[in-house]
């Protein structure tokens, strides 16, 4: 469940949810079928979405293939975290999962320019696969991820969960 919804149920002194809380709950519950549909689309079409991006990056740059592959792996991970954040309706999920390691890796491997191109291409690919309303569900997470990846985020780093210490290993 999302942090927004968790907060609705944390208050022991409230015997019933008020009108605003019920509205929030109702909006989330009614959006679940669409969120699941978007998640399934991203899961099932991940390769169809990312392969044209990888091809375009490889053809449009003089960067070494390993550097392009690293950027694409980052993009895959970002897309997966954004999909989960959208499903949970919690854009902070993206920041919590990526903030502790991704900006440093981007800087260390100097993939910022490739990653910026990747995000532009990702926007184009998502527009081919999803409706504007579906893309809007992804926007909060995509914006947070883009900010972190490109170094435009302003928050302090969060601790890295133990399962994320080697996040790229599961992509290989």
> What pLDDT, on a 0 to 100 scale, did the predictor assign at position 157?
41
How far apart, in whole angstroms, are the C-alpha atoms of residue 167 and residue 134?
27
Helix axes 19-44, 65-88, angle to 10 degrees: 150
> What pLDDT, on a 0 to 100 scale, did the predictor assign at position 153?
54
**Residue holding tokens 């985020």?**
153
> What pLDDT, on a 0 to 100 scale, did the predictor assign at position 47?
96
Chain segment 91-109, per-residue pLDDT in tens: 889 999 999 888 888 888 8
Which CATH architecture describes the domain 34-171? Answer: Orthogonal Bundle (1.10)
Mean pLDDT of the region 53-70:
93
* Distances in whole angstroms, Cα of residue 54 to Cα of each of 2, 12, 41, 97, 156: 32, 50, 19, 23, 31
Per-residue three-class SS string for 85-129: HHHHCCCHHHHHHHCCCHHHHHHHHCCHHHHHHHHHHHHHHHHHH
Q: Is the model's pTM score more than 0.75?
A: yes
Residue 67 reports pLDDT greater than 90: yes
CA 167 to chain centre: 14
Domain boundaries, the chain: 34-171
């Amino acid at each position: 469940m999302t942090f927004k919804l968790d907060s609705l149920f944390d208050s022991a002194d409230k015997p019933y949810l008020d009108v605003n809380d019920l509205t929030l709950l109702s909006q989330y519950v009614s959006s679940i079928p669409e969120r699941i549909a978007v998640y399934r689309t991203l899961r099932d079409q991940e390769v169809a979405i990312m392969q044209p991006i990888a091809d375009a990056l490889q053809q449009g740059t003089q960067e070494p293939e390993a550097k392009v592959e690293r950027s694409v792996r980052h993009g895959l991970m970002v897309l997966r975290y954004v999909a989960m954040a959208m499903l949970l309706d919690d854009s902070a999920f993206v920041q919590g999962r990526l903030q502790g390691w991704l900006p440093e890796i981007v800087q260390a491997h100097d993939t910022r320019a490739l990653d910026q191109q990747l995000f532009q291409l990702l926007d184009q690919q998502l527009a081919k696969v999803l409706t504007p309303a579906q893309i809007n569900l992804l926007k909060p997470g995509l914006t947070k991820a883009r900010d972190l990846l490109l170094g435009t985020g302003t928050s302090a780093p969060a601790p890295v969960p133990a399962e994320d210490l080697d996040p790229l290993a599961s992509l290989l």
